[in-house]
Structure 1
Amino acid sequence: MSFVEYGEYIQEGDIAIVFLGRESMFPVKAQHGTQTQTKYGVIRHSSDLIGKRFGSKVNCSKGGWVYVLHPTPELWTQNLPHRTQILYSTDISMITMMLELKPGSVVCESGTGSGSLSHAIIRTIAPTGHLYTVEFHEQRAEKAAEEFREHKVAHLATVKNQDVCKEGFGVVGVADAVFLDIPSPWEAIGHAKAALKEEGKVATCS
């Protein structure tokens, strides 16, 4: 399973979205010997998740049932752990369109935050693009890098823990697009220009 490549069956270590209803869903990491409690009863990972098809209807121990869905950036946006305020799919779709992102694009982003936009960018630029994302807060940067590894997209993203306004993105003349989601985006414009190719685009949100 990867957030950018569809997998048919749930394997150990995969993230699956447990769907109880439109307003009730959450991610789980499939692990042998583990159980997940829901209001409909227990889901036993070894028998109820691992080896099942994504999209399957799973019966819980109390007689109720849930669906287990393949993760997507859109579902992750609805279920991710909030470390910061996030961008949602409506705004994300506008950003990716305005920046003209496509497979193979190289993108610089700051700040990474909770990774909502990052996951959508990665899915859009896969399989040959790359995201350079900068996060000022050390723990948030570490958590984002951990999630990218867990979601099997780390080869498409480089996470840097630094102040983009002082240190930039760490790359020069490679980016097709730059997105700045920081309190004072004008302080990073010089670094954005340095990171961009000659015909690159910049968008901001503050």
Structure 2
Amino acid sequence: MSFVEYSELIQEGDVAIVYLGHESMMPVKVQQGAQTQTRYGVIRHSTDLIGQRYGSKVTCSKGGWVYVLHPTPELWTVNLPHRTQILYTTDIANITMMLELKPGSVVCESGTGSGSLSHAILRTIAPTGHLHTVEFHQQRAEKADEEFREHRVGHLVTVRNQDVCKDGFGVTGVADAVFLDIPSPWEAVRHAKAAMKKHGGRVCSFSPCIEQVQRTCEALAEQGFQEISTLEVLLRVHDVRTVTLPLPDFGPAPSSSSSSSSSSSDAQPAAPPPAAHNQVTCKTTTPPREMAGHTGYLTFATKPRT
């Protein structure tokens, strides 16, 4: 199992996603002799998981069943243990696209946090790219490094525990793209520029407050970055429902134009009005009453070729 390569069978040591429902999932580290308790009963790793195909339906001890899914960055984002606030797939998709990431890209990131974006970056830049990620908090940096190795992507990432605003990313002139998710991104812009390749590249900064965005844009302009733009991504979810609506009463049908030229004996009686109980069934969508709103602003810029 690897977050960047697909495996057919579940093996000991894998991190599998146990799917109980659309909004009920959990990651499980598969171990010989271990058990996982669910509301449908117990899953025994030795007999129910190891050797089974990913995507299999597994029957629990109480007779209920779950699906066991191969881990992906998207599934990890909604199941990971939160050590910090994280980025979700809506923002992540725009970041990976706007930073122009591809297999072989070299990326610098700060801070690592819970590793939500990091896993998506690694999947995008594999198998020949590399991620240099910096985390200020020592325990978070150590835990992230442990997870990367457990998820078998450790060869694609270097984790550093340092202050990016003071000490930079630990590399110079190697990055195709830089991502900043720190309280004072404007203090790290010069280090981002130094980490990027001479032929240029892209930078992105994520900030929840517009005042942070303003100061970051000023710093980007001072350092010679171009094409500076800020966007906000808002997700609007709709529920598809089937509804039944009554047909309106349009009154009696009009007589045909040819009735005036026909004899009275040939005239057809007017069609009766539709019954009041006639109904039509159709599909419609409705937004939920409450919806998650603003998460943060994404500011992008380009370092020109030097």
TM-score by length of 2: 0.67
Show structure 2 runs of 5+ residues with no match.
208-306
Q: Where does residue 187 of structure 2 map in the other structure?
A: 187
| Residue aligning to 2:61 | 61
Unaligned runs of 5+ in 1: none
Counterparts of 1:140 and 1:194 in 2: how far apart (Å)?
A: 25
Match in the other structure for 1:86: 86
Aligned to 1:123, the other structure's residue is in SS state: helix
Query: Displacement of 1:131 after TM fit?
Result: 0.2
> What does 1:118-129 correspond to in 2, within 5 Å?
118-129=118-129
Question: How far is the alpha carbon of 1:200 from its aligned partner?
Answer: 1.2
The residue identity in structure 1 corresponding to 2:86 is I
Q: Does 1:18 align with 2:18?
A: yes
Aligned position for 2:203: 202
Deviations 1:25-59 (A, max 9, x none): 00000000100000000000000000000000000
Aligned mates of 2:141, 2:56 — CA distance in 1: 34
Q: What SS does the corresponding residue of 2:78 show, helix, strand or coil?
A: helix
Question: Considering only aligned residues, what root-mean-square deviation do their CA atoms show, in Å?
Answer: 0.4
Query: What's 2:251 paired with?
Result: none
Once residues 82 and 100 of structure 2 are traced to their aligned partners in structure 1, the CA distance between those partners, rounded to angstroms, is 27
What's 2:3 paired with? 3
Aligned positions, number? 206
TM-score (norm 1): 0.99
Letter in 2 for 1:181: D
Question: What SS is found at the alignment partner of 1:43?
Answer: strand
What is the percentage of aligned positions where both structures have the same residue?
A: 82
Deviations 1:181-203 (A, max 9, x none): 00110000110000001211111
Per-residue Cα deviation, 1:144-180 (whole angstroms, up to 9, x for no partner):
0000000000000000000000000000000000000
What CA distance in whole angstroms lies between the structure 2 residues aligned with 1:160 and 1:7? 30
Whole-angstrom distance in 2 between the partners of 1:106 and 1:69: 29
- Post-superposition CA distance 1:75-120 (Å, at most 9, x none): 0000000000000001000000110000000000000000000000
Question: Aligned-pair distance for 1:69?
Answer: 0.1
Letter of the aligned partner of 1:98 in structure 2? M
Segments of 4+ in structure 1 off by > 3 A? none
AA in 2 matched with 1:81: P
Give the structure 2 partner of residue 114 of structure 1.
114
Q: Secondary structure, in 3 states, of the residue corresponding to 2:139?
A: helix
Which structure's relative contact order is higher, taking Cα pairs within 8 Å and 6+ residues apart?
A: 1
